[in-house]
Amino acid sequence: MTITRRHVLLGATAAAALGPIAARAQTSEVKIGVIYPFSGASAQIGVDAQRAFETAAEIINGKYDFDLPLARTEGLPGLGGAKIKLVFADHQADPQKGRAEAERLITQEKVVAVIGSYQSAVAVTASQICERYQIPYLSADNSSPSLHRRGLKYYFRAAPHDEMFSQAMFDFFDALKKKGTKIETLALFHEDTIFGTDSSNAQLKLANERGYKIVADIKYRANSPSLSAEVQQLKAANADVLMPSSYTTDGILLVKTMAELGYKPNAIVAQDAGFSEKALYDAVGDKLEGVISRGSFSLDLAAKRPMVGKINDMFKAKSGKDFNDYSSRQFMGLIVMADAINRAKSTDGEKIRDALAATDMPGDQTIMPWKRVKFDESGQNNDADPVLLQYVGGKFVTIFPTQAAVAEASWPMK
């Protein structure tokens, strides 16, 4: 290739953009970007996420007697005690806004890493920007399986993805069938963004492999004003299990429409999202006694690991809520990222990336029921063991797998 003046100028511009990021000096504070929806239909998710990240930062920056990385020291010892400073950005559940906010965090706010983002569709664009600037992106709670399969070097996810979650669901169905429970037909109901589509694809594949019949596979438009036609289809199919993949507002509309049209499935096994959110149960919890949702966190763990209860109390003092599947993963996302920055002893993106890749955190040094946090070459932690939770008497109890369960599953739903 002939090198022209334009190539030289483009190279110089790129170097100028990346140079300050690579050369950031050690400092008394380390800025981490946190990108979530703080306005719009998902704003409450962002508010709760902010409290989760603030709880983690308080533990990292302070001194606590927890068996958790960085809890017993103030700040980051590897950077002379530097404190974590969180910089929050609102992506408004819009992938293009997410792209712009990720770039602003990196180029203007000078963050050394980015964590996000609730909606998987936003994680796609934000992580691409981080890749371009060689800044690590950690998916705290994005569950779309395709995210870690894009060949990105700076992308990491400590939590499970929807193939892992769906496998736990089908393991649960198989266990119930062995005990004589009739589970033959399934109805899939999913929104049309990357979250719902990836979830449905994973469930279709597992159903075919395990010998379950899909009698309805309904994709609907996210934030749809009406789900009457879709619920009529679900009612007509009358599957043994309804498996929704829906965010909060869609989940509330689904349950209300089911009640209006007199559709009462034997069981609902949900792909988390809206079905882990307090707002949904505040609105329609009286219609959901016995609903099952997958998760990556169980407050039941506090009985075996007392620090889980103590950290939950810290979060509850800020948010008025217990940890749920999202806020627990957000909390751990910052712990994992800060631990890597500390081991890197640097704010350089590539060094933090290499430290993340070398992470090997035992499960009992987290607040999760995981074996450990250790990333494969694609940035995915395959040791994040999912759990299934059932909504009983106004709270969730762990019913699967056996080693984590505190109660037998109630089947069918009441």
Count CB neighbours of 414 within 10 A: 8
| Strand 83-90, strand 113-116: pairing | unpaired
Does position 397 have pLDDT exceeding 50, yes or no? yes
CATH of domain 163-295+388-400: 3.40.50.2300
Identify the residue with better confidence: 3 or 48. 48
163-295+388-400 and 5-160+302-383 share a CATH fold = yes
Does position 332 have pLDDT exceeding 60, yes or no? yes
Q: Express each pLDDT in 217-231 by its tens digit.
A: 999 998 899 999 999
End-to-end CA distance of the chain: 70
Full DSSP string of 370-387: -SEE-B-TTSBBTT---E
Q: Express each pLDDT in 232-285 by its tens digit.
A: 999 999 999 999 999 899 999 999 999 999 999 999 999 887 898 888 999 999
Mean pLDDT of 170-197: 94
CATH of domain 5-160+302-383: 3.40.50.2300
- Distance of alpha carbon 159 from alpha carbon 142, whole angstroms: 8
* All structural domains of the chain with their residue ranges: 5-160+302-383, 163-295+388-400
Q: Express each pLDDT in 360-390 by its tens digit.
A: 999 999 999 999 999 999 999 999 999 999 9
